[in-house]
Amino acid sequence: MAIDPKTVIEQALREALRLEAPEFADVPIVLERPKQADHGDFSSNIALQLAKSLKTNPRQLATSLASRISADLLEKAEVAGPGFINFRLKAGAKSGIVRRIREEGASYGRGSGGPGEKVQVEFVSANPTGPLHVGHGRQAALGDAIAALLESQGHAVTREFYYNDAGAQIEKLALSVQARARGRLQGEPGGNYEGYYGESNEDIARH
């Protein structure tokens, strides 16, 4: 199975930490994509984070760590600025993700971090007592995407989508539209004091 380059770099950097500063070997390591392509494929500021605790110059620490980093898919690890470590991948490593997707097919990206755990995702609540808008569609897509992501990691997901087309709210909406159709406003005799009196209801009443 193909190996994730980011995972390999993190492991190599952590091994360098064990050799250089074993007391900090288990600190969280953050790898980011540099904003500028000429800075490499990944970058870490771990030397800047640890320099003060180790009472050393961050660039010197970064240089020492970079010299200890080795991985087959790395072209090189180089120090930049005040102490950033930039990593450049070999050309073959960049195309490795394509091979991985072909190998894993539909299972690509799936994990087992939450096998058997039940999760309920509630989303949208498209309430017809007011105008529907693009946000309702956006939240539907977002909620379903979150549910799909949880499913891909082994969770047993139940989706709950509210569209509120029955019950007390809809009854009040119907009474409000009927009142507006008769020309009655909130507070007037015959008006529905607990209803909905937005402009959208006036449009419905006219039709």
- Measure Cα distances from 71 to 7, 21, 29, 89 in Å: 11, 19, 17, 10
Given this model, what pLDDT does residue 106 score?
83
Helix orientation angle between 199-206 and 168-181, rounded to the nearest 10 degrees: 60
Mean pLDDT to the nearest integer, 94-117: 77
Given this model, what pLDDT does residue 188 score?
57
Given this model, what pLDDT does residue 29 score?
93
What's the rounded Cα separation, in Å, for the pair 143 and 157? 12
Residue whose tokens read 């569209």: 163
**pLDDT tens for each residue of 126-172:** 777 777 788 878 888 999 999 999 988 888 899 988 766 677 777 88
Given this model, what pLDDT does residue 65 score?
95
Given this model, what pLDDT does residue 113 score?
59
Q: Is the distance from CB of 47 to CB of 85 less than 8 angstroms? A: yes
Please say whether the dihedral angle defined by the alpha carbons of residues 178, 180, 186 and 187, taken in this order, is positive or negative. Answer: negative
Q: Concatenated DSSP letters for 45-67?
A: -HHHHHHHHHTS-HHHHHHHHHH
Given this model, what pLDDT does residue 88 score?
93
Band (pLDDT 50/70/90 cuts) for residue 184 is low
Given this model, what pLDDT does residue 72 score?
83
Strand locations in the chain, DSSP E? 42-44, 74-80, 84-89, 118-123, 156-161
Band (pLDDT 50/70/90 cuts) for residue 1 is very low
Closest to 7 in 3D by CA, of 47, 42, 48: 42
Helix (H, G, I), strand (E, B) or coil at 161: strand
pTM score > 0.85 for this model?
no
Band (pLDDT 50/70/90 cuts) for residue 52 is very high
Closest to 9 in 3D by CA, of 66, 51, 62: 66
Band (pLDDT 50/70/90 cuts) for residue 125 is confident
Q: Are strands 42-44 and 84-89 parallel, antiparallel or unpaired?
A: antiparallel
CA atoms within 13 A on the CB side of 93: 19
Q: Is the distance from CB of 62 to CB of 78 less than 8 angstroms? A: no
**pLDDT tens for each residue of 3-45:** 678 889 999 999 999 999 999 999 999 999 998 888 889 999 9
Would you say residue 78 has pLDDT above 90? yes
